[in-house]
Structures are given as structure tokens and as C-alpha cells.
Structure 1
């Protein structure tokens, strides 16, 4: 079996996916028409052409503009259903999906609109296809900690449907320490904790996420290699890193996929995983990220299986379910 065929065949999980970042240009165009929203583009092709970025901030600018077409419950259902349909195509059997409440509440779109839409699609995918989904509520780090506290409070009714709380958006200038108090509260509430760190931000941000926020996973984390002591800690404690190769390329974290360090980190014994981040904007869903690692870095079958197994290990699934999926991966 070729590597490309094996990528498609293996059952997989995805742990770093922003649902708003899966908004396809065609759906953006459709919803803009539905709500009579004037986009700064005259066609779907023009939207696709705009998906070129110089850095994280230039991506975020179009990302937030795109999210503005999401207005009613059915829009959020369609958004989630489109991604989960892609999961079925790519044999993603479990996914842990980040959503950004503040992107919507700042526009006057409340939890009572987006959560029912998300949950309807999730329940349908579970019933029809057996896909399991967990939701990760993410705070926007360019906003204040006080606003994060407000966001957490507004979510209370929906806590039973949320597995973890995360931290995303503009990394530089917004270190994890800015949010220490709110994550103390998150921990007291019993949620798992994840945080973006070490993508554009320095290795020190990873230290802060570990020591101050006490995260269960680091999202991105590729710059841990810049600090030997940090690299050793991440290895020894088997702290999961949810790495997003095509995202790193598109946002200029690396200039060429052949420069990516994910296989070096894997071979060094770190618990690295492969994910698509914001797939519509970054040029590929999960399988394409794996394919690019094969094409650019020569990822072999053993490395592919190790990365897939790592994703199950790093997930928030119950241990028995993790082991069942890992056994299926090993058997292929």
C-alpha cells in the first residue's frame, strides 16, 4: 500500500481545527447573499485569490471578515456540517474542534444562536456516521482577560457540551501570563486546558503556557526546539504538540515545507501530532497535511503511523477508546 493510500485509509483524529477557519469560499459567498452582506470580493474565485498572507495578522483580518457572514443558527449548522462531512471523507473518526465565541458575540450573535447550530450538526454526524466530536471554547488573546472572564460566564449553560478551554488569535504581544487568572478559574471548573504557543511567539510563551496556565496540550509549539531545556521537558512529560504544517507554511513560520521540523521532533521522541488549523485558508485539510509531509520530508509509513497514534494518545478520548483506535492503526 502506498503512503498516499495509507493516509486515506487510516482512522485519524484531528485536535487543532478552528471551525470558523473551515469556512469555504462558496459557503461564504452563499451566506453573504442570503444576508445581503457586501463582501469586498466579486466572486468565489476572488475570495480564493485573497487567501494569501504575509503573517498571522494578515490572515486574521480576512478570517474575522469571513466570519461576519455567519448570522443565524442554520449558518452555524452548515459550517459545522461541512467540516464533519469532510471528516467522513478523510476517515477522521474523532475531532476536537475549537470555536471562538467572541468572534460572534462581539457582532451580537449569542451562544443561543451558534451553539444549537453546532450541536445539531455534531449529533447528526454522530448518529449517521459515528464520528465523535468534542468542543474547545477558545478565548481571543488580543482581547482582555476581563472579556475572557465574561465569555466563560456566558457559556455556563453550555458547559456540558464543552470539553476544554483554549487560547488563540494574535500570539505576539499577548503572552499566556496575561490570562493566568481566568485559566485558574477554568481549571477550578474542571475543564481541560489548551493554548496556542510557540508559533509566532517565542519559546518563553510555551514555558508560560505550561507553568502558568498548566495546559494539557500546546497548540503549535514548533519553536520549542529553540530552547534545549524546554525541548527536554516537552519530551520527558510527553506534552502533546498539535502541529499544523500547512498553516506554518502559509503564515511564513517556515519558507518551505522542507524546512519543517515536525519529523525531527517526532524522531526525538516528542508527542507531536498533525492537524489542519484553518484548512480553507491554509490550503489543505488533514490528509493534505500528511501528504505534504510525505512529499516534502519523505515521511515514511512508520512515521505516519506514529503521528496518527500520537493524535489518539493526545486526544481527550477515554483511555479505552484511545487504545481501540490505536490497535486499529497498528493493524493496517
Structure 2
């Protein structure tokens, strides 16, 4: 089965084609809307939806050409149905459903978070189940026990700002522009990570929940006190990584797992990758990351997640579609299992 997938949950427009018979990604393209939103310091939902509308037809044609295919070679269409910005999701869903209907193909809405979790399966050394997943992005920070596709147990999450959001907001305080997470990490390379004594949030409390809004406030205070931006950036980044390492060790001990998957946009952070690789090596375990290009929002992960569910017989009802701005992983079920088998 060849699946063409559409991703439009926020400010990346993406198209990909996955060939399940060959178990490989044939092509994928991502268009970033950074220039569209940069002047506003954040994503403007209406502008995001309009740009998806403009980009999807041409991006789909280009992706098909990259794969050396035409639409007659596609067997099904998958698309991101949530979570995300409602207008952006509706644009992608309408395009995907229209494309599928025009060719008489099955279509399926996919959970964006499930896509991120499964993204490392597209790598040369895919993880085996079960594993602990750390999902860290601009909108989500979650620790999840993954038993198999569709079988997820939420262990902890941010009670306020997501990690990527804290990176971007801290970068904005330093005038690094939008999105600023990557720029903050580059600046951190020039600073002293021990220069500013930030408190590692919630590490002395039981449980696995996270919190980063207070750390963002501490960054503002350090800047107001005249600390050098590069030192603030380096200290902030190390504090985030320290916090994640402490919480992950606790989660690994709690679950008894020794395989870790780190996914989402912040998984591209190289100091985080180095630290967690060292942590798992010390434990005799293994950590898996998506390829750098598959950490941020992309359609390759949606194609893979869609394929797994489509081959199990899942289909959207026709006609119509449903998108969900909020769609917790706990509401998903194992592909091919009846609704009564949904996990808690």
C-alpha cells in the first residue's frame, strides 16, 4: 500500500509518500511558514490556514514527482486530524479528503502526536516495542509509556508551557526573533552554562509532571539583572536538559523500561541528544531519535502512522471529516482492535 500523507497542524505544510510494501519513505517535502509569522512573533492561525491552502496543491505535485509517481499509483490518503490549530487542520483535511474522493481512495485522519512517537520507526535502527517516549515540541511535553502502536499510557506532562514554547519565549526575551529555539541553542554555545543558577523546576516533587513557565520568568529576571545573553541561554538550556534527565531516569525506573524514544521539534537539540545518549549508555539501554529533518512537523510521520492503521482496516467515514484541536493519545486504540479495547 502506498500512502500519500498531508500535514497541516500548525505552521508547516508537508506532503509525503510511504510505501508499505517496501517499508520505506519514497519522498517528503516540508514548507515552513516562518517568514509568514515572523513579524508577529508567533503563529497567526488565519494566516497559517491560508498559506496551507496556497501551498498544498503544488507541494503535492512536487512530492509525487520526487517519488516518480502519479496519483494513479497512490492507494490511500492520510492526513493530520489533530491536535493542532483548527483552521489549519481543516484546510489540510479538506484537501486530503477531496483528493481521496476524486480518486475513489480510502482516507484516514491521523493523530499528530502518534506520528511524532512513531517517527523513529522510519530510521535505519528503529526501536522495538515497548519503550518510553519523551515527546518535546512547541506545543507538547509528555512522558509516555508505549507498549505498541495505539497502546499509550501518559506518565507525565507539562502543567504549563511546553519545552519548545519555553525555548521560543526565552529567545524572544533576548531579541532572537521567531521562532527562536534554535537561535537560543546557537547562542548557548558561546556561553557559560554555570553562570546563572536557575532552579530545575519540579524535580524535588514526586511524579513525572513538568513545568517551564517559572523558568521562563527566571530568564526574564536574569536579563533584567544584566546577565550576558549567551550565559543566560547556556544556563537555561542546561537547566532544561538537567530537568529532563532527572524525570526520565525516574520514568525508566518506574516502568522498568530500558528503551527510550525522544521525538518532537526539541529532539533536534544536539546537547539534549548527547546527554540522553550518554545517560542511556550508562544504564546499558538505548535511545532512538528521529532524523533531524523528521523532528519538526512533517508528513512522513503521518504517512507511517496512517499506513499502520489503514492496513488494519481503519477508514474515515465518507463523506465528511472531523478535526480536533485537542486529541489526547489516551483516546487512541490499537489498530485493528474494537473500540472496547481502547487504552486508558
| TM value normalised by structure 1 | 0.32
Name the structure with the higher helix share: 1
**Bigger Rg, which one:** 2
Q: Considering Cα pairs closer than 8 Å and 6+ residues apart, tell me whether 1 or 2 has the greater RCO.
A: 2
| TM value normalised by structure 2 | 0.31
